[in-house]
Amino acid sequence: MTPDFPVIFKNKILLKPMMKGILEQEEWRPLLASSLIYYEQLREQYNKGGLLRFSPMFLALGIFLTLGAMSLAMGPNSPVPLTPLEFVIYGVTAVPAAGIYSVFLATRFSTSLGLMADRKAAEVVGQDKLLQVLQRLDALRQQDIQGGRLKNWIGYGNLPILPKRLENIRNLQLYETTEDRN
């Protein structure tokens, strides 16, 4: 798990051990708000969106299995326009390529939901508070990187990385400031 995004699993909050004593009690509030929104409010969108984003892989696999079944069932009279070698090449290239593309789409979607959770959390706990905590964590991350401890900050799964979260909240503030002027 990543230090800046607590994981909520089976009604438990999971924190990276290195975070013990790093933040004050009140500083946890924005991080926990974002995690709660992500894991509790956006989970259904994540499940539906993830399934939809894996459809290219399911489609490629379905075509592969259908062509294979037709080819085997009909033998030399098969209407399948592929030779056995072309069929194997399709199975070895198209299906994994569609799978990789599907994983890419699902990862981007999950990251966007994490950023949406941050925006919603900023509305609840305040943009400044969330930004201050993320900036403090980013300073700690920078110190760890300089000290050769980059692995402490490797992201968890497909959640947004800390610099992306900071940029997201800063852009939110910039947008509101620009909107206020008009």
pLDDT tens readout for residues 54-66: 888 888 888 888 8
What pLDDT is attached to residue 156? 66
Hey, what are 123's tokens? Answer: 């509305």
Asked whether residue 1 is domain-assigned, the answer is no
Whether the CB-CB separation of 1 and 157 falls below 8 Å is answered with no
Q: Please identify every stretch of the chain with a pLDDT value under 50, giving residue numbers as ranges.
A: none
Per the domain annotation, does 2 fall within a domain? no
Total of domains in the chain: 1
| pLDDT tens profile 20-71 | 888 888 899 999 999 999 988 888 887 777 778 888 888 888 888 887 777 7
Give the integer Cα–Cα distance in Å for 121 and 165: 12
Q: What pLDDT score does 89 carry?
A: 85
User: What does the alpha-carbon distance between residue 151 and residue 2 come to, in Å, rounded to a whole number?
Assistant: 10
Domain that holds residue 21: 7-181
DSSP character string of 102-159: HHHHHHHHHHHHHHHHHHHHHHHH-HHHHHHHHHHHHHHHHHHHHTT-GGGGPPPTTS
Residue 170 forms part of a structural domain: yes
Q: Output phi, psi for 22, to 5 deg.
A: -80, -40
In this structure, are residues 34 and 5 in contact, taking their beta carbons and an 8 Å threshold? yes
